[in-house]
Structure 1
């Protein structure tokens, strides 16, 4: 097995960009196939059986299991996603894996190829050392976490179960035991195109969208006024992107807005969709048709109810390596919610700080890699 910094470098150098519904990205950097092939090669090199779980073209989960040479004390899933967000406007070479000042830079370095590297390192050590009293450990590298979660959904739909699950995300070596869910939509308006010198002969889809966006802004304020979840805080809604029109001298006949809604326990994608649709249609200034379409399969909220024992056991291991930890909620979504929805107690853990994820100069503090791998190894050993 490669040393951890080198292993991470190899992962960052292999693009695995999730298009996230976009059609304007370079096909040469899309999807997880290059990372999948590398990880499969590394697993086979340590003598481990590995299987692919097909999810979509060029998008396969990888699943490998360590069976200890004795009845296992428990079973645990180590899960990390292979994909990254796009690389627009990055100020560092996205796939250069440059190292400076104790940091490794590049897309996915923090979210979440560092987490994947430490999980693979801990898993390889188990295979090599076969420590007595260890758990059965399944290592899953999934696809499509950044947009729809199709990979982890396929994994859990296949019937996989374990006593516990650790899901890789940047947590500064702390435990995340709860997070909000995610619903995303494409909001679309139509119009009638014409030459911009005679706008009275057309209908602007952009102006129509502007009315809907005012409605979403009002809705966002109303959500903030509702009683928050005692653990996760308030519901939120945000518009992340608006596109429409073909040129400055053409009245646009189409406009689209990408809308993101963060859910708290008790809410679902369906209830959030119905509520937003009703809010927009009830506005007196919306006297035109529009469509609100699901843009991903979404992510459920993760509550702390199932994971109390896991938090205590895993937290004790973290303390034995780095001396202290916190267990806390976060506003972003992860694959842990899908795992927990299948009845498997799940927490989120990994090296790195979420503040560096998805940024224009994404980086990871290399000093966190070895402690993270040691924590995972010790937990799997039942320590």
Structure 2
């Protein structure tokens, strides 16, 4: 164990190095608003091209795997490095829109110990920390005896499609650290999103004679009552020790044509967040069955769209998890695994059998915000934690249960 070992801290030159890299990453417009826009703008390709060049200079072999035209996942490793065990450091290359930002989105300006700009927090800060730590460890000849990969994915902000395609193609490692703004804490669990669209179908008529029609909006109001009544109670029946209960909320409603017409159709969107014990398929089946029983024969409804992403529930005693928790304990006192309510690429990796945790600098409260920023000291701390994870196992495997 390494509980009492002093942390290897960054030098001033190394601190400047990680700041310079993050400045370069933030300066690349990799905004993805929709898959259609991304296919046209090739925003993620700009990030992939920069990272390709940067990783080649680090001596890594880089493979670009196109997920959609102009939108490649990136996989890098050192040829011939590592033994039989493998792990990846992963972060997504896309960011959300810059619309409404109150700071220059691509300037990476540092003020009062914070670097501002789109992606500083989510999640180019993690990318800079991971790559700087890898580079320093490699240059000093202190890499562990695990086959190390850096992976950059596309389309995390629009459904984690890049990660899903990566595992679909057969890519696997034994363990993974997914870069997200966890405040330099180790996250081992998150919920899985479940999105549904539901439509009620009535009969239109003139609003002056409402009894001659069937009001689809009134039907939908009964579904809203179900979601916030019996269905909420049902979801509360199963809980996760870190995540609590699953949730579901009605987030959009669209109904009616004109003020003087009884609406024949009403549509609603539902956002569910499921604990790992609940599968999306079984939850949808239970929802439809219970809703039909609640409504009886009076309401005609149909679920028109279902989308979901997998949750994360990695054992806290997995080798990589234990070592990362140990280092976080030494660096910031946070040596207990945590759960979060948002989701990330981690779900796809964990579902594929990869022992996965979330870790990175930044506060999730700043992700997607108009004044997005990262605390520079957290950027340094994340780099130090990953660097120590690598160098303290120089020539030895990280992924080994025996010390």
1:106 aligns to 2:117 (yes or no): yes
Q: In 2 relative to 1, CA 114–288 (structure 1 residues): closer, same or farther, beyond 3 Å?
A: same
Q: Does residue 377 in structure 1 map to residue 391 in structure 2?
A: no
My pick for the range that moved more, 90-99 or 174-183, is 90-99
1:226-237 paired onto structure 2 within 5 Å: 226-237=237-248
1:359 is matched with 369
Query: Which range is displaced more, 218-227 or 327-336?
Result: 218-227
Conserved 8 A contact 1:67-1:137: no
More deviation in 207-216 or 115-124? 207-216
Alignment match, 2:354: 344
Q: Tell whether the 8 Å contact from 2:61 to 2:79 is kept in structure 1 after alignment.
A: no
> Partner of 1:282: helix, strand, or coil?
helix
Runs of 5+ unmatched residues, structure 2: 1-13, 394-403
Q: Aligned-residue CA RMSD in angstroms? A: 3.4
1:153–1:192 distance in 2 versus 1, CA, 3 Å: same
Work out whether residues 86 and 148 of structure 2, in 8 Å CA contact, stay in contact via their aligned partners in 1: yes
Q: Which residue of 2 aligns with 1:44?
A: 56
* 8 Å Cα contact 1:180-1:301 kept in structure 2: yes
Using a 3 Å threshold, how does the CA distance of structure 1 residues 195 and 267 change in structure 2: closer, same or farther? Answer: same
- Counterparts of 1:197 and 1:247, CA distance in 2: 13
- Distance 1:209-1:116 versus aligned 2 partners, 3 A rule: farther
Given that residues 307 and 347 in structure 1 are in contact (C-alpha distance below 8 angstroms), is that contact kept between their aligned partners in structure 2?
no
Provide the residue aligned with 1:76 in structure 2: 87
Distance 1:274 1:195, change over 3 A: same
Q: Does 1:293 align with 2:300?
A: no
Query: TM-score scaled by structure 2?
Result: 0.80
Rounded Cα–Cα distance in structure 1 between residues aligned with 2:306 and 2:151? 27
Aligned 8 A contact 2:236 2:246 in 1: no
Any residues of structure 2 matched to 1:160-171 within 5 Å, and which? Answer: 160-171=171-182
Based on CA coordinates, which of the two structures has the bigger radius of gyration?
2
Deviation, structure 1 residue 208? 4.3
Question: Of 312, 317, 323, which aligns to 2:327?
Answer: 317
Q: Deviations over 1:309-332 (max 9, x none)?
A: 222212223345446533222222
Partner Cα distance (1:85, 1:199) in 2: 45
Cα separation, partners in 2 of 1:255 and 1:42, compared to 1, 3 Å: farther
Conservation of the 8 A alpha-carbon contact between 1:114 and 1:364: yes
1:147 to 158, 167, 189: 158
Residues 1:15 and 2:26 aligned together: no
Distance 1:307 1:127, change over 3 A: same
Q: Deviations over 1:358-379 (max 9, x none)?
A: 3333221111112212221222
TM-score normalized by the length of structure 1 = 0.83
C-alpha displacement at 1:306, in angstroms?
A: 7.0
Contact kept? 1:80, 1:167, Cα under 8 Å: yes
The 5 Å alignment of 1:232-243 reads: 232-243=243-254
CA shift at 1:205, angstroms? Answer: 5.2
- Count of residue correspondences: 378
CA distance in 2, matches of 1:201, 1:8: 64
> Displacement, 1:29?
6.9
**Which residue in the other structure is 1:64 paired with?**
76
Q: Distance in 2 between matches of 1:340 and 1:92?
A: 36
Query: Given that residues 61 and 76 in structure 2 are in contact (C-alpha distance below 8 angstroms), is that contact kept between their aligned partners in structure 1?
Result: yes
